Amino acid sequence: MAGPIDTFLGASKKALNSLSVFTSAENKKIGESKSAEQKKFVYDNTLTFPADLGPGLRNPYYITFFVNQQNSSKYKTTNNTAVGKDGQPIQSNIQINQGGIRTLGKNLGGTDLGFGRKTSRTTAAIRLFMPDSLSWGYQNAFQNVSLSGLPYTKLLSAGVALGESAVEGFKKGTIMGVLSSLAKKRNDRNVTGPVAELVGTALLGSGGDAIAASALGVTVNPQIDVIYESPKLRDFTFDFLFAPRNHSEAVTVEKIVQKFKFHAAPELYGQGSGIGRYFVPPSEFDIEFSVPTMGRVSTCVLVNITLDYASSGAAFYADDYPVYTRMTLQFMELEFMTKELIETEQNGGKGY
């Protein structure tokens, strides 16, 4: 019969096996094949503005936005899910990237339970002319830490200073010798300073050490060290000024704006069967440039949409469509840029 220790070890092994489902890395070739499948798929519900986009046309360069809808959305159907030739839903960029590394950002196999993305690529896509401004940064966060401000360093400074004075006294062989040596150091700020700092902090709290040091005519050297924290998530801002030339283009612009607004908004979970306690998150987006040398963008969320229908003064056509529509989209990428992603090249494309 298994004892308590055997039972514990058995449960621990099962837990580790479950964890490996989240953290196990996918074969690199599998990830590349998924990316290739994604490129082969034809998105039959694509909104394009203007119509003459592509090589050899008036607007040869463009940017494409692919929509990844939440699996729990009531608007998700089998008809609007992009499925590859293998019969499986096409994955988003972040799903492909995280499939090749050991990470907790995964779901249990075949389910939406876990910390992975819970979206599916839809057949909808939006293709627009390349905006005039295309700039983004690769930022890192660092923290300035004052070593002098740590309680340990105050004790260390006081201990070293007092210890050096005490050694001189002990050489004289008496306790009075120790006290005599310390008394001689009363004007040495390396001795009195740390002691005053500790006393000031104890009596006055935060900032008491600086006040005590100031009373002695000195200022604490902060001894700054810079510690690395993490990369910062990239932000992308795209500004589009639409000037439709006819009724058909005006209708297309309206549909494009509506599509972005719709997928950037949350929805009530279980509407009609609950009390509206939960939201289903907005859709996510994959962004692709027609110029591969610009690098790649991982899956993003649409943080803000700004619409301006009077950027050059309010003006409308006879059918009430605006003459100009300025739409500014602000996206935030969902994963950190690391060396592994930056050096990644799939199917002849560039890394991030």
pLDDT in tens, 211-236: 666 666 667 777 888 999 999 999 99
Q: Is the pLDDT of residue 237 over 90?
A: yes
What's the confidence (pLDDT) of residue 276?
Answer: 77
What's the confidence (pLDDT) of residue 30?
Answer: 45
Q: Is the pLDDT of residue 202 over 60?
A: no
Q: Is the pLDDT of residue 48 over 50?
A: yes
What's the confidence (pLDDT) of residue 13?
Answer: 53
What's the confidence (pLDDT) of residue 176?
Answer: 46
What's the confidence (pLDDT) of residue 154?
Answer: 57
Q: What percent of the chain has pLDDT over 70?
A: 60
> What is the three-state SS of the chain?
CCCHHHHHHHHHHHHHHHHHHHHCCCCHHHHHHHHHHHHHCCCCEEEEECCCECCCCCECCEEEEEEEEECCCCCCCHHHECECCCCCECCCHHHHHHHCCCCCCCECCCCCCECCCCEEEEEEEEEEECCCCCCCCCCEEEEEEEHHHCHHHHHHHHHHHHHHHHHHHHHCCCHHHHHHHHHHCCCCHHHHHHHHHHHHHHHHCCCHHHHHHHHCCCCCCCCEEEEEEEECCCEEEEEEEECCCCHHHHHHHHHHHHHHHHHHCCEECCCCCCCCCCEECCCEEEEEECCHHHCCCCCEEEEEEEEECCECECCECCCCCECCEEEEEEEEECCCCCHHHHCCCCCCCCCC
- pLDDT tier at 91 (50, 70, 90 boundaries)? confident
What's the confidence (pLDDT) of residue 173?
Answer: 46
Give which of 100, 102, 98, 89 is closest to 116, Cα–Cα.
Answer: 98
Q: What percent of the chain has pLDDT over 90?
A: 34
Cα separation, 220 vs 213, whole angstroms: 7
Q: Is the pLDDT of residue 71 over 70?
A: yes
What's the confidence (pLDDT) of residue 311?
Answer: 82
pLDDT in tens, 303-324: 999 999 998 888 898 889 999 9
Query: Which secondary-structure segment (H or E) carries 19?
Result: helix 4-23
pLDDT in tens, 122-179: 998 999 999 999 999 999 999 998 877 666 565 555 555 555 544 454 444 444 444 4
Q: Is the pLDDT of residue 331 over 90?
A: yes
pLDDT in tens, 12-21: 455 445 444 4
What's the confidence (pLDDT) of residue 169?
Answer: 45
Cα separation, 95 vs 31, whole angstroms: 9
Mean pLDDT of the chain: 76
Output the CA torsion sign for 343, 105, 303, 71: positive
What's the confidence (pLDDT) of residue 175?
Answer: 43
Mean pLDDT across 270-276:
68
Cα separation, 210 vs 219, whole angstroms: 7
What's the confidence (pLDDT) of residue 330?
Answer: 98
